[in-house]
Amino acid sequence: MSRLFQRAAALAALSCLSQWAASATHDGTGFTLTYDPDGALYTHEVESFGSVSTEVLPQDQVSYSPSAAGLSVNFLHGLGVWASSYTSFTPQMLAGTFALPLSLEAAPGYHLTGYSVTIEGSYSIESPGFVNVDGIFSASDSGLGPFMASSGVIPFGGGSLPLSGSFVAYADISYVEVLVGYEDKIVGYEEVLDYCDEIQCYYRQEPIIEQVPVYDLQTDLGEASLVIDRITITAHVEAVPEPGSMALAFGGMMLMGAFARRRREGAEQA
């Protein structure tokens, strides 16, 4: 897995070197988010005729949807990988990466506490195999369906924030013993009376036969695929009271305290 994460980190670093020439700025609720679609890089590995190559997703296959809470990156036809051990009867791992340079700052009157990343898509597994998305989502049991996984809130105070990660699909090979039938097997011998004369009896050795199961070692091939449909980054902010409102609140508390004290003194004099 280290090879994949190193690749993701390298792609994120290359994306951060962009000059933000076509950057877009979005003002959400309590934050300002700036992102660079031209500096983004989305890749996935594909196999063709026994060789694996890395393809870059064209920009027209990606759209961006700002919202009051953050930004969604939408892959129109999905960003995915499909691995199979059926092709060459060997395990296969295919990977992909995503990297979008962006920055996140708190708006006046707000404090940025962190951000979270949510990834949505679908997967399919025929065991043995597994899929994994940047440690946020993983599955290894046979099955298929949609998924939605979140990183949880990641503490962040503001500044440059490359949205980057990697994903993999791995198809493995295992071997299982399959019952194919039963066969007779000599497991020992026993003495059986043959005949007796006037002097003594004679015995012969007879085999003890039992039926035992017969197993065949068979190959179990796996397949795994994963498609990412959407990546959403959500800003987490808290409102910061303005100095004027704090002073007003403090003054109100002082007046309420003085009023309560006068009522108490008046009650004691009565």
Q: How far is CA 149 from CA 16, 119, 135, in A?
A: 25, 5, 10
Same domain? 199 vs 67 = no
Residue 264: pLDDT over 80: no
DSSP-derived 3-state class of residue 34: strand
Same domain, 113 and 203: no
**pLDDT tens-digit readout, 101-117:** 999 999 999 999 999 99
Residues 106 and 197 occupy one common structural domain: no
Residues contacting residue 266 through CB under 8 Å, at least 6 positions apart = none
Same structural domain, 129 and 206: no
Q: What is the pLDDT of residue 35?
A: 96
Same-domain check for residues 140 and 254: no
* Number of domains into which the chain is organized: 3
Same domain as 139, residue 29: yes
Residue 255's pLDDT is 58
- Closest to 1 (Cα-Cα) out of 137, 95, 142, 112: 95
pLDDT tens-digit series, residues 65-75: 999 999 999 99
Answer whether 110's CB lies under 8 Å from 68's CB.
no
Q: Are residues 88 and 115 in the same domain?
A: yes
Task: Provide the 8-state DSSP code for 59.
Answer: G
Q: Which domain holds residue 266?
A: 241-270
Q: What is the average pLDDT value for the chain, to the nearest integer? A: 86
- Interatomic CA distance for residues 92 and 50, integer angstroms: 11
Q: Are residues 249 and 159 in the same domain?
A: no
- The residues, ordered by sequence, that sit 6+ positions from 117 with a Cβ below 8 Å of its Cβ are 136, 150, 151, 154, 163, 165, 231, 232, 233, 234
Residues 109, 203 share a domain: no
**200 and 70 share a domain?**
no
Q: What is the mean pLDDT of residues 132-158?
A: 94
Same domain, 233 and 262: no
Checking if the pLDDT of 17 tops 70, the result is: no
Q: Are strands 92-100 and 163-171 parallel, antiparallel or unpaired?
A: antiparallel
Residues 181, 249: one domain? no
Total H helices, total E strands in the chain: 2, 18
Q: Grade residue 241 by pLDDT with cuts at 50, 70 and 90.
A: confident
List, for residues 154-177, the tens digit of each pLDDT value. Answer: 999 999 987 899 999 999 999 888
Q: What is the pTM of this model?
A: 0.73
